[in-house]
Structure 1
């Protein structure tokens, strides 16, 4: 495939000039003779601009057929939009590249005989057991994992650094003067087969516990673990309130859980952030519209989904080396952490 560098060499001008001419930059001052020489060179080399290639791709028949395996049931996906956003990212990127999404499987009722072995590739969102990975890989050569990396020496994957992300949340709370910090979170499930999961400790919980113990600030009475749902966030915060002696702040491992916790605090007339500060995780859409807008860790889930499609395409086009993409997270400050209130009350 011809490049801009090839055209520049053939027409004896700079790469920048070629790029600006082919992209119809009207601000470029160049003679008509030079412009025609560049265009003729591009035509001779059968060069297409990125815009032209995209247009040709969009107008062509589907090039590949992909499948998606979601490790969440539809009910779990709707109650926690984290994986819903990943799936939407996958589907929108497939549509952009005119890739046909033939199958969307769910581990809650998935059986191997359902797998379409004629798929060009399969994107798996969530955690599945290594033995199941091998079984699926026997049927479909190209697999990409999102939010899980079962074997980075064999498979492409897109993940976030949960340890680093949890530290961002804790460090923010520490910077505001909070030391007595509680935790509300869920257990992760690794699927072994349809409707069968093995519970594993969530990485946020593991790092929170480790770091708070290192700092001498860990209090087991302030740690609550259930399911990653709004209703369990509500239930666990109710338990904490009934115990009494709430900590100054909570790190809550998902926005839906935090929304449930906010409801429990509101019912008990406990104000956020005045009485208890909260930092949560995900930055799903509901976070900014909660009864107290949530300060939270932003996870670019849509980008994770889109990146999985690009990695799969890259594999199909010849890349042999597996890639592990670690997507960065960022902190989004809103009212629930108390930072804005502290700023407003700083004396002159």
Structure 2
């Protein structure tokens, strides 16, 4: 079956241009000659937009698209970072409610291209992936929804959160409580491809450093970077304790890292929030039950997964305009930031 890339090669234009012409995007500035060449190529190659196939369940006809899910993270990475396992749960829950029984899951690392040729209608890609990987997938499928990845908005649906807004909200909360000496503990953000990964910008760290610098408060020696896991949070806070002159507060980029960090503080008889305040990120289930309940940025990860399924089904049902959904975040106030102590 011909894809947008096949038409683009035949007509000697970009895949983005092909998509916008075939979707009757009137905002596209393209000559009539080019438009006709694209339409001719689509006809010659017998291009047909993917449609939802009919299936049956419990003796009833229903629309049952064959959906694939590609996880950029390894199983080990997912296990140590509940952010991604919660997204998975949202996808699976929405598929179950919609009676979509033909979901196939792939791990990006080592994935063979032919795996995508097994009669799928569309895929959901979870996590940051390289442009080369996007191209690999789009070579076989036109309908793709990305979660937590900024894709080409002219071609693909995506579900995102605003890391900059969320990080600023957390920092402004700490500033409002009077903290000025604020440290950062975070992990390494990676862009994944089939045979490996490469380190990319982590917006939480970037925004933290920019905001602190603008206020004249940045101490680069108080920025600790490792991997997104509880163990790394413990180790990095241990380094901070050993270095001495601890900040008054820390912004920690995941709840798992924050819980590990609090364990290191506890072992050194450093109290949270009396001695060091903490605000973290994610609001996984365990955050409310930590030794000191965490003040944290709530990310609606399960809803991100659910939205991706809805968008994919909607696209397969005929929607031609690609959409980007920005899922909001919310700061959840608990004991670790010290706000309750300051009110007493």
TM-score, scaled relative to structure 1: 0.80
Q: Which residue does the alignment assign to 1:210?
A: 210
Alpha-carbon contact 1:123-1:308 (below 8 Å) kept: yes
Q: Which residue does the alignment assign to 2:93?
A: 92
Unaligned runs of 5+ in 1: 1-55
Change (3 A) 1:135 1:176: same
Show CA shifts across 1:49-89 (max 9, x none).
xxxxxxx9995456111111111111111111101010110
Alpha-carbon contact 2:143-2:312 (below 8 Å) kept: yes
Query: What CA distance in whole angstroms lies between the structure 1 residues aligned with 2:73 and 2:262?
Result: 25
| SS, match of residue 245 in structure 1 | coil
Q: Which residue does the alignment assign to 1:69?
A: 70
Cα RMSD after superposing both structures:
1.5
Alpha-carbon contact 1:292-1:336 (below 8 Å) kept: yes
Alpha-carbon contact 1:144-1:155 (below 8 Å) kept: yes
Query: What CA distance in whole angstroms lies between the structure 1 residues aligned with 2:210 and 2:58?
Result: 50
Q: Which residue does the alignment assign to 1:79?
A: 80
- Rg larger in structure: 1
Alpha-carbon contact 1:62-1:100 (below 8 Å) kept: no
1:290 maps onto 2:290 in alignment: yes
Show CA shifts across 1:92-147 (max 9, x none).
10111111243111123322222244111100000110111011111112100001
Q: Which residue does the alignment assign to 1:50?
A: none
1:147 maps onto 2:127 in alignment: no
| SS, match of residue 199 in structure 2 | strand
Change (3 A) 1:317 1:213: same
1:271 maps onto 2:267 in alignment: no
Query: What CA distance in whole angstroms lies between the structure 2 residues aligned with 1:57 and 1:137?
Result: 34
Alpha-carbon contact 1:294-1:334 (below 8 Å) kept: yes
Alpha-carbon contact 1:94-1:101 (below 8 Å) kept: no
Query: What CA distance in whole angstroms lies between the structure 2 residues aligned with 1:90 and 1:200?
Result: 26
Runs (4+) off by over 3 Å: 56-62
Aligned pairs, how many?
288
Q: How does 1:11-50 map to 2 (within 5 A)?
A: none
Show CA shifts across 1:204-236 (max 9, x none).
000101110001000011100110111110110
Alpha-carbon contact 1:251-1:279 (below 8 Å) kept: yes
1:156 maps onto 2:157 in alignment: yes
Alpha-carbon contact 1:117-1:140 (below 8 Å) kept: no
Change (3 A) 1:172 1:61: same
Q: How does 1:185-200 map to 2 (within 5 A)?
A: 185-194=186-195, 196-200=196-200
Q: Which residue does the alignment assign to 2:312?
A: 312
Show CA shifts across 1:132-186 (max 9, x none).
1011111112100001122112100000000000001001001100011000001
Alpha-carbon contact 1:186-1:253 (below 8 Å) kept: yes
Query: What CA distance in whole angstroms lies between the structure 2 residues aligned with 1:264 and 1:182?
Result: 15
| SS, match of residue 128 in structure 2 | coil
Query: What CA distance in whole angstroms lies between the structure 2 residues aligned with 1:337 and 1:57?
Result: 52
Q: Which residue does the alignment assign to 1:34?
A: none
Query: What CA distance in whole angstroms lies between the structure 2 residues aligned with 1:153 and 1:337?
Result: 41
Q: Which residue does the alignment assign to 2:108?
A: 107
Query: What CA distance in whole angstroms lies between the structure 1 residues aligned with 2:209 and 2:106?
Result: 35
Query: What CA distance in whole angstroms lies between the structure 2 residues aligned with 1:154 and 1:93?
Result: 24
Query: What CA distance in whole angstroms lies between the structure 2 residues aligned with 1:142 and 1:114?
Result: 16
Query: What CA distance in whole angstroms lies between the structure 1 residues aligned with 2:309 and 2:60?
Result: 19
| SS, match of residue 336 in structure 2 | coil
